[in-house]
C-alpha cells in the first residue's frame, strides 16, 4: 500500500499539496530535505508554503511512513520507510554520502544487545570518515 492510500485509509485528506509532496518523496532516490521538497513543490505549484511541507512530513513521520536522518549537515533528511533501511557513509573530505546495507551492522547490533542490553535502532546511522578517493588525495 502506497503512502497516499495509507493517508486516505487513516482518514487524512488527500490535498493537492500532500499528493505532490508524497510524489516528490517517491521520486527522490535518496534522502531529501524539507527545503528540497519545498523547492520541487514550488516548481509545480507556486502558491504554497514550506510550513505545509514540514507539517506533511511530521504527519508522515507520525504514521510511520517516512523516517528522518541527521547526516550532520545541520538539517534533517527524510525518506520513505518502504524504500528500505540502510546506513550512510559520509565522507568528511568530499561530502559524498554512500549507502551501506543494513546487514553491515548486524554484528554491531547483536553485540550491543548481548553486551549492553541496548536495543539499537540502526536503521539510519550516519558514519563519518573518509572515502578511498579522498584518502588517496590526502584530504584528511
Partner DNA sequence: TTAAATGCAAACGCTTTGCAATTGA
Partner DNA sequence: TCAATTGCAAAGCGTTTGCATTTAA
What are the residues binding DNA (CB under 7 A)?
A: 8, 12-18, 33-35, 45, 47-52, 54-56, 58, 74-76
Residue 8 contact among a second copy, DNA, none, beta carbon within 5 to 8 Å by kind:
DNA
132 near a second copy (CB under 8 A): yes
- List all residues 6 or more positions away from 34 whose beta carbon is below 8 Å from its beta carbon: 50, 53, 54, 57, 75, 76, 78
Does residue 93 contact residue 34 with C-beta atoms inside 8 Å?
A: no
Query: Least distance (Å) from a second copy to the CB of residue 115?
Result: 7
Task: Give the separation between CA 106 and CA 112, rounded to whole angstroms.
Answer: 10
Task: Give the separation between CA 51 and CA 53, rounded to whole angstroms.
Answer: 5
95 near a second copy (CB under 8 A): no
Does residue 3 contact residue 60 with C-beta atoms inside 8 Å?
A: yes
Decide whether 45 or 128 has the Cβ nearer to a second copy.
128
Which residues in 42-55 are b (16+ Cβ under 10 Å) and which e?
A: eeeeeebeeebbee
Residue 50 contact among a second copy, DNA, none, beta carbon within 5 to 8 Å by kind:
DNA
Query: Least distance (Å) from DNA to the CB of residue 59?
Result: 7
Does residue 37 contact residue 25 with C-beta atoms inside 8 Å?
A: yes
Interface with a second copy (CB under 8 A), residue from 2, 43, 127, 139 = 127
Decide whether 1 or 107 has the Cβ nearer to a second copy.
107
Residues engaged in binding a second copy (CB under 8 A): 70, 72, 89, 91-92, 98, 100, 104-105, 107-108, 111-112, 115-122, 125, 127-132, 135, 140
Amino acid at each position: 500500500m502506497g503512502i497516499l492510500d495509507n493517508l486516505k485509509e487513516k482518514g487524512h485528506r488527500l490535498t493537492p499539496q500532500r499528493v505532490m509532496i508524497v510524489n516528490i518523496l517517491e521520486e527522490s532516490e535518496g534522502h531529501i530535505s524539507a527545503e528540497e521538497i519545498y523547492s520541487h513543490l514550488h516548481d509545480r505549484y507556486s502558491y504554497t508554503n514550506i510550513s505545509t511541507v514540514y507539517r506533511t512530513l511530521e504527519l508522515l513521520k507520525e504514521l510511520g511512513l517516512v523516517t528522518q536522518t541527521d547526516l550532520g549537515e545541520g538539517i534533517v533528511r527524510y525518506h520513505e520507510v518502504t524504500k528500505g533501511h540502510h546506513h550512510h557513509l559520509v565522507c568528511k573530505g568530499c561530502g559524498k554520502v554512500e549507502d551501506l546495507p543494513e546487514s553491515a551492522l548486524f554484528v554491531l547490533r547483536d553485540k550491543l544487545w548481548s553486551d549492553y542490553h541496548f536495543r539499537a535502532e540502526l536503521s539510519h546511522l550516519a558514519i563519518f570518515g573518509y572515502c578511498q578517493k579522498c584518502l588517496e588525495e590526502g584530504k584528511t
